Amino acid sequence: AQSVTQPDARVTVSEGASLQLRCKYSYSATPYLFWYVQYPRQGLQLLLKYYSGDPVVQGVNSFEAEFSKSNSSFHLQKASVHWSDSAVYFCALSMSHSGYNKLTFGKGTVLLVSP
Partner 1 sequence: GPKVLQIPSHQIIDMGQMVTLNCDPVSNHLYFYWYKQILGQQMEFLVNFYNGKVMEKSKLFKDQFSVERPDGSYFTLKIQPTALEDSAVYFCASRKGGGNYAEQFFGPGTRLTVL
- Calpha distance 18→46 (Å, rounded): 20
- In the bound state with partner 1, the residue whose beta carbon lies nearer, of 39 and 83, is 39
Q: Report the nearest approach of partner 1 to the CB of residue 15 (Å).
A: 26
- Please list every residue from 40 through 79 that binds partner 1, using CB under 8 A: 41-46, 49, 51
Residue 102 CB, nearest approach to partner 1 (Å): 4
Give the residues across from 68 on adjacent strands. 73
CA-CA distance, 108 to 91, in Å (whole number)? 7
- Please state, in angstroms and rounded to a whole number, the distance separating the CA atoms of residues 114 and 98: 41
Residue 10 binds to partner 1 (criterion: CB under 8 A): no
Stretch that binds partner 1, among 15-23, 65-73, 79-87, 99-107 (CB under 8 A): 99-107
CB–CB of 47/39 below 8 Å? no
Q: How many CB atoms lie within 10 A of CB 69?
A: 8
- Binding site residues, partner 1, CB under 8 A: 4, 32, 36, 41-46, 49, 51, 90, 94-96, 98-108
